[in-house]
Amino acid sequence: MIEFSFLYGNTRIRSKDLTFQTSASAEERGVKKETAVAAVGNLTVTRETTFYPEGPVKSLLYFENASDADTEQIRDVADIDCELPWAAPSLPDGYRGYGNDDYLRLVKYFGSNNNDKEFATEVNVLRNGQRECFGCHDGRSSQGYAPFFCVRGGQKTVLAAVGWTGEWRACVQKSEAGLCLRAGIPGLDFKLYPKEKIRTASVMLYAAEESETDAHNTFKRTIKEHIVPENVRKEGLPFFLSFWGGASTDFMLRQLDTIRASNAGVTGFWVDAAWYGERGSQTRSEFGDGWCRQTGNWQVNEEIHPDGLVRVFEKAKSCGLRTMLWVEPERCYKESALAKNHPEYCLKENENSEYYLLNYADPAVVDYVYDLLSGYIRTLKLDLYRQDFNMDPLGFWNANDEPQRKGIHQIKHIMGMYELWDRLRKTFPHLIIDNCASGGRRLDLETLSRSVPLWRSDYQCEFDCAPFSAQNNMMGISRWIPYSSTGTGFGVTDPYRVRSAYSAGLCSNFFGYENLAPSTIPEELKALAAEWARIRRFFSCDYYPVFGQPVTEYAWGGWQFEDAAAGEGIVMAFRREHCPTDRAVIRLGGLQADARYEFSDADTGERFAATGAELGEKGLAIVLSQPRSSKLLEYKIVR
């Protein structure tokens, strides 16, 4: 059971001291749910606990005032506040713990910060009494640090994930006897009005006597089987060609004809920003701010799309493509029609705010956005909806909180966002929501239960982005998140670049700019699209960090993914641009010592075989004679 605590007035309330009325729901797909309710004065606290068959446990708290009077102040809410027994040795003074796996290690993950180290790890060895606190910043849940972390020591691993799409903070502290974990929304200090109910952050915890990699794979299987939306699991993710929305309808129609004629293996059509706005506002690319200044003018720009994009999406459907449209509904420019016509919908951070945040704490705003989006989903028959969010909301929330209600704007905004997405998914059961937020800055348990990150990093926006950056964020995010996608950049005839972006989904924006688009789809891209389609199912399976997680161009990078039930998998290796060595030896994960494995080289067609015992003893040697080159090996157990 995940314990929690909070201050009510001046009294520390701990869940282990409360008297709960508990009820359990029917078990479904091995998942058990329990609801426990306790009273604290005129406050009702509800804890919903979910027990997953793989072992992880998730907890979610609700606070409700069912009375006719205000509650006392609620502060310092810790959605998890527990001590795990763990008698690990303390690190002696003068030592860093290098090479001794018995010491407790806290493994944090950087979030999406628009650099080449996104989702890379940061490791701290914990001494007795040492307290490490970390979190996101400015109100987007995976900006700064991602809301996933690990503590490892000896033979024991603890994994934790926070489910909150606003500001969160976690603290980990080692004591003589154990490990203290606290996490929640920082800075809360509020009272609840009569009949008011709110929720806070969910938390998932998994503790096991197994290796860090095995624990991660167990945790990720839980996310895949029970958290990720069912239609994502069943349908998988497309290979998108992304079109800039400021390109004309005529251009898009011509390019769709080319896609249809090419038999290129493209499966998705994505219209990005700048399709909307006033006449005269056409923006030719994302590398300017014109499209930002039209947020809040959510009518199709009739100057560039005279029929409201209808013909474009109809043709995309006729080409057999899954379709997606970009919208950024939480932000509006101060001079937009929305800001002028509905100033009551908008929050300002200060009087100089150039952009406003829509106030999702207001049900009327959620209704407005629902009507806006559902109208486009119906009219254009969209398969996917892409929600972007290119602003930091925390300052807006804090500036608009009432006295004695610190944190309520944030809580109710995030609750409104969840309600919006839940309503859309209920109305359109086929719909997949792409969670972008400046590229991967809102990744947490709650968004993963409703959406999928199809653009996990804005670092890939530039056409010539360094391919190793996509490798880096793939190697980190794959420990936690089974389905994600990123962009190839412009060099789509370059196997090294495109393979670096391989994920459960794939995107290339080379085709959607009028000033850059080729008249045909290159044969090299067709071959790579076919290769990706053949292996894409593996990227949501068990992950083994066989190259560790290097972040420089002077190393080898890559990964191993395995479908354990099928006895099949892939190994991808990248000799990076400045890597001086032409040979790497790696130790594969998940091997069965008595099984025989057959490998095939996707580039040369060469085949070879080895037993699990041989691979465990000698490793798998990979040779690449040239820097900035890659290798794909596919393998299966030969019965």
Residue 92 to residue 399: CA distance in whole angstroms: 46
pLDDT score recorded for residue 344 = 98
Same-domain status, 389 and 291: yes
| Residue 552 to residues 466, 468, 475, Cα–Cα distance (Å) | 11, 8, 13
Strands (E), 41-139: 43-51, 57-65, 74-78, 80-85, 105-110, 121-125, 131-137
Q: 419 and 291 in one domain?
A: yes
Please indicate, yes or no, whether residues 451 and 556 belong to a single structural domain of this protein: no
Residue 31 gets which letter from DSSP?
Answer: B
Within 13 Å, how many C-alpha atoms sit on residue 217's CB side? 18
**Residue where a domain terminates, one of 522, 540, 558:** 540
Nearest CA to 442 out of 386, 362, 358, 360 is that of 386
Is residue 33 assigned to a domain? Answer: yes
Whether residue 175 is found in the same domain as residue 200: yes
Residues 6+ apart with CB under 8 A from 381: 313, 314, 317, 323
Whichever domain contains 598, its CATH number is 2.60.40.1180
In which residue ranges of the chain is pLDDT below 70? none
Distance CA 62, CA 436 (A): 27
Residue 219 resides in a domain: no
Whether 240 maps to a domain, the answer reads: yes
Out of 540, 575, 593, a domain closes at: 540
The three-state secondary structure class of 495 is helix
Do 516 and 462 meet the contact criterion of CB atoms below 8 Å apart? no
Residues 63 and 11 in one domain: yes
User: What pLDDT, on a 0 to 100 scale, did the predictor assign at position 513?
Assistant: 87
Question: Which residue reads 């006719």 in tokens?
Answer: 68
d(CA 461, CA 440): 12
Whether residues 25 and 59 fall in one domain: yes
CATH of the domain at 133: 2.70.98.60
* 137 and 236 together in one domain: no
In a domain, 212, yes or no: no
Of 180, 182, 186, nearest to 129 (Cα)?
Answer: 180
The pLDDT of residue 518 is 76
Whose CA is closest to 333, among 365, 292, 369?
A: 292
Assess whether 455 and 503 both reside in one domain: yes
Among the listed residues 534, 476, 538, 497, the one whose alpha carbon sits nearest the alpha carbon of residue 111: 476
Looking at 165, 189, 204, the residue that finishes a domain is: 204
Provide the pLDDT for residue 594. Answer: 95
C-alpha–C-alpha distance, residues 385 and 369, integer Å:
13
Q: Is residue 218 assigned to a domain? A: no
**Are 83 and 151 within one domain?**
yes
Q: Residue 214 belongs to what H/E stretch?
A: helix 212-222
Q: Could you tell me if 130 and 247 lie in one domain?
A: no
Residues 278 and 371 in one domain: yes
Core vs surface per residue 164-183: b (16+ CB within 10 A) or e: bbbbbbbbbbbbeebbebbb
The answer to whether 240 and 264 have CB atoms below 8 angstroms apart is no
Distance CA 151, CA 399 (A): 36
- Taking alpha carbons only, the member of 328, 312, 317 closest to residue 369 is 328
Place of tokens 């794909």: 632
> At which residue do the structure tokens 């069965």 appear?
592
Residue 143 lies in a domain: yes
pLDDT on residue 251: 95
pLDDT of residue 492: 84
Structural domain span for residue 628: 543-638
pLDDT at res. 287: 86
Residue 210 resides in a domain: no
Closest of 301, 315, 313, 316 to residue 378, by C-alpha: 313
* Total structural domains within the chain: 3
Burial class (CB in 10 A: 0-12, 13-18, 19+), 506: buried
Expressed in angstroms, the distance from the first to the final Cα of the chain is 42
In terms of domains, do 385 and 514 share one? yes
* Cβ neighbours of 402 (radius 10 Å): 10
Instruction: Let me know if residue 220 belongs to a domain.
Output: no
Task: Tell me the β-bridge partners of 432.
Answer: 384
H or E element at residue 528: helix 523-535
Identity at 256, one-letter amino acid code: L
pLDDT digits (tens, 9 = 90+) for 14-63: 999 999 999 998 898 999 999 999 999 999 999 999 999 999 999 999 99
Match 């080159």 to its residue by tokens: 629
CATH number of the domain at 347, please.
3.20.20.70
Beta strands in 444-534 (DSSP E): 506-512
pLDDT of 289 reads 85
pLDDT at 90: 87
Compute the half-sphere exposure of residue 590: CA atoms within 13 Å on the CB side of its CA.
29
Cα-based angle 621, 625, 629 (whole degrees, multiple of 5): 90
Which of 432, 408, 404, 369 is CA-nearest to residue 63? 408
CA–CA gap between residue 440 and residue 484 (Å, rounded): 9
